[in-house]
Amino acid sequence: MNHAGGSLWRAFASQTRVVQVLLVNELTLSLSVAMLFPYLATYFSDDLGFAAWMVGLALGLRAMSQQGLSVVGGTLADRLGYKPVIIAGLVLRALGFALFGLVSGFVWVLLASVLSGFAGALFSPALRAYLAVESHDRRTEAFALSNVAWQIGTLAGPLLGVVLLSFDFQVVALTSASCFIGLILLQLRYLPPRHDRRNVSATVRGSWGEVLRNRAFLLFAFSALAYPLLWNQIYLSLPLEVERLTGSGTALGLLFALSSVISIVGQLPATAYCQARWTPAAAIAIGLALMTLAWLPPLLGSVWLPQEVAAGWAGYLLDLSPGIGAVLLLTVGSAVAYPFLMESIPRLGNNRNTGAYFGFFWTIAGIGTIVSNTLTGVLFDIRDRLGIPALPWIALLGVGSLCISGILLLERSGRLATTAVPREQGVAP
């Protein structure tokens, strides 16, 4: 672990100051979100007395605001520069999170949800576009470090949230908001006001038209839907199956922690291994294949393991084994695929309109995830009603396989061929 920690620090220290700031952003964003979001639903229902539909609407509005409007944030980043859009997003997120702790009316909570979501739509594509432009020929490593930073925050955030929750929920919300205030000061001091002006279309219509005419990118974006779709099942399908087999969801925290630790320790070695052996498309396909196979253990468990909770620790571990297998494969697959997915987006756009390309990608991913999660929930209802325990897992295996076919088709056509990123094409002052 010390060796892994040293390697992580050396990799971080070797990056430019701008990349380091962007990685600190990623870690702090993840920390603040993981500190607050796990406790929002309970706070809304238990403390504020909201009905279930009100809780669902508030949380859904946040997700839809971020995912549906990412293309707006990416386009603004191309036109106004990455720094001001990142700062604007941080300001809105600080305000939204503070409102969660200061207001109790339903309308005000909805406003906080929309502000928090739109904030993510601003800074998320801008941050990734800036990271892609600034990291030059080290994009894959930079995005690998970005995933590590996110996982560190994901691991530490809930633990800090539990400590702060012992005082009051308002303390959690205001502490989360203060994280963004700290980030704003960091951007103002250390993030230079640059963006890739030479590679941006003259008009918004031109930017969007270029993206929408890029068939290779669109095929890639829809094929890459497997990544967010399969990854988000760790929050939907996995909890349902763990509770079905073990009788409770108490082990979920340990499974989530296991996923984060694997990502933190294994991300850089996995990326280096893949870079030395495979093309980006091959690494993406292999990573998505592992993420698809992650749902084979639950499929086998749904057929072979009884629904009754087994007695003793041995029985409990047996019931939990499909969840453990799913988390291991899902996390390793994510570590393999994610950096190559991210570095492929600006490359497919010929390093033009980078913010718009990231914005469109995350908008497509967000809408696809919302639809797929809804359909997956329907499949679980059908499973319970008709007594077909394998149904959701067969569907996930099928969707993953279909998306992998799209990636391989792009690879065979040569559209995902590796191209160098010239240093002089990086950032313009």
Q: Please write the tens of the pLDDT for every residue from 254-270.
A: 888 999 999 999 999 99
**How many domains does the chain contain in total?**
2
Domain finish residue from 162, 195, 228 = 195
The better pLDDT of the pair 237, 156 is held by 156
Whether residues 269 and 386 share a domain: the answer is: yes
Asked whether 44 and 57 are in contact (CB, 8 A), the reply is no
Q: Please write the tens of the pLDDT for every residue from 57-116.
A: 888 888 888 888 999 999 999 999 999 999 999 999 999 999 999 998 999 999 999 999
Whether residues 323 and 412 share a domain: the answer is: yes
Whether residues 312 and 168 share a domain: the answer is: no
Q: Please write the tens of the pLDDT for every residue from 268-319.
A: 999 999 999 999 999 999 999 999 999 999 988 877 766 555 556 766 777 7
421 part of a folded domain: no
pLDDT for the residue numbered 419: 45
147 part of a folded domain: yes
Domain finish residue from 163, 195, 227 = 195
428 part of a folded domain: no
Q: Is the pLDDT of residue 366 over 70?
A: yes
Residue position matching structure tokens 């739109």: 118
Q: What is the CATH number of the domain that holds 171?
A: 1.20.1250.20
Q: Is the pLDDT of residue 188 over 60?
A: yes
Whether residues 175 and 39 share a domain: the answer is: yes
108 part of a folded domain: yes
The better pLDDT of the pair 252, 195 is held by 252
pLDDT > 70 fraction of the chain, expressed in percent and rounded: 91
187 pLDDT band (50/70/90 cuts)? very high
Tell me the β-bridge partners of 428: 195
Whether residues 186 and 234 share a domain: the answer is: no
Mean pLDDT (the chain, rounded):
87
3 part of a folded domain: no
Residue 333: domain span: 213-416
C-alpha 12: how far from chain center: 20
Whether residues 220 and 183 share a domain: the answer is: no
203 part of a folded domain: no
Residue position matching structure tokens 């890639």: 220
Q: Is the pLDDT of residue 15 over 60?
A: yes
Whether residues 245 and 362 share a domain: the answer is: yes
357 part of a folded domain: yes
1 part of a folded domain: no
Whether residues 361 and 293 share a domain: the answer is: yes
Whether residues 152 and 226 share a domain: the answer is: no
Asked whether 11 and 145 are in contact (CB, 8 A), the reply is yes
Whether residues 273 and 412 share a domain: the answer is: yes
Whether residues 97 and 189 share a domain: the answer is: yes
Q: Please write the tens of the pLDDT for every residue from 108-154.
A: 999 999 999 999 999 999 999 999 999 888 999 999 999 999 999 99
